[in-house]
A = this chain, B = another copy of it.
């Protein structure tokens, strides 16, 4: 194992300090190519809920390695590109999805996770409403929306399976079953205390739709009365006064996401 002088980061947030004379001299003689470096990629788990289950966008690999298997949308990080920018670019260029909610998930770095060379993957998850993600998949060859099946409950964690429309397991490339598992776990955890679930719905939605989203993510049924009460009394949603239309039953009120007062 190598161990040498540490070298990490400059202050962000505009507080970067000007290097003094000694530091300038050091930087001029610094050789960045002195040690072997891994490649760094981003992989994006773009997810939505549909028919009561979580779904994710998968891309069929047309090239080696793992040709023919299904993978998350991914790509290398440019040498002058931030990680967030790289993830947004991948989602925009590989799936035609600009302006999507994205959050960093975890960095996968097992030395043998890619057969070519050492490649780290900084994984992101993205939340998209179902209509938009369905259209994006239909518009691009080799891109599908796969149903996810978790064999574990709650936030225990573990890999997830991707299923095609016939319910057959789709072979996943690399460690992407683990990345998807981490995404589902994170999403379940976030849903309890964070308004992240609204990213999976259109701007106006009914309380039933919101509950369906929560149930799909959590993988279990929720109490209808409690769910309604908690989401309304916490002020997470606001009634718009508008109603559903063209439904074969009593139309429900339409709500919109309401940022709680502290944010």
Contact = CB atoms under 8 A, between A and B. Distances in A.
A245 interface: no
A226 interface: no
A188 to B, nearest CB: 11
B104 A106 contact: yes
Interface stretch (A63-71, A127-135, A160-168): A63-71
Give the bracket for the number of chain A residues in contact with chain B: 35 or more
Given A35-B39, A78-B2, A9 B176 contact: yes
Indicate how many identical chains form the complex.
2
Interface string A196-227: 00000000000000000000000000000000
B39 A74 contact: no
Interface in A70-121: 71-85, 89-90, 93-94, 104, 106-121
Contact of A12 (B6, B27, B30, B110): B110
A19 interface: yes
Contacts of A39: 7, 32, 35, 37
A6 B74 CA distance: 6
Contacts of A106: 104
Contacts of A16: 112
19 contacts: A1-B81, A4-B75, A6-B71, A7-B41, A8-B43, A8-B119, A9-B114, A10-B175, A11-B173, A12-B110, A13-B159, A23-B64, A30-B117, A32-B118, A35-B79, A37-B37, A38-B40, A80-B111, A189-B193
Closest CB pairs A-B (n = 5): A9-B113, A26-B64, A32-B117, A9-B174, A83-B109
A126 interface: no
| Chain A contact residues, majority secondary structure | loop
Interface of A: 1-13, 16-17, 19, 22-23, 26-27, 30, 32, 35-41, 43, 63-67, 71-85, 89-90, 93-94, 104, 106-122, 159, 172-178, 189, 193
B36 A93 contact: no
Nearest to A89: B1
A110 to B, nearest CB: 5
B7 A119 contact: yes
Contacts of A8: 41, 43, 71-72, 74, 113-114, 119, 121, 173-174, 176
A177 B201 CA distance: 35
Nearest to A26: B64
Contacts of A82: 109-111
A113 B10 contact: yes
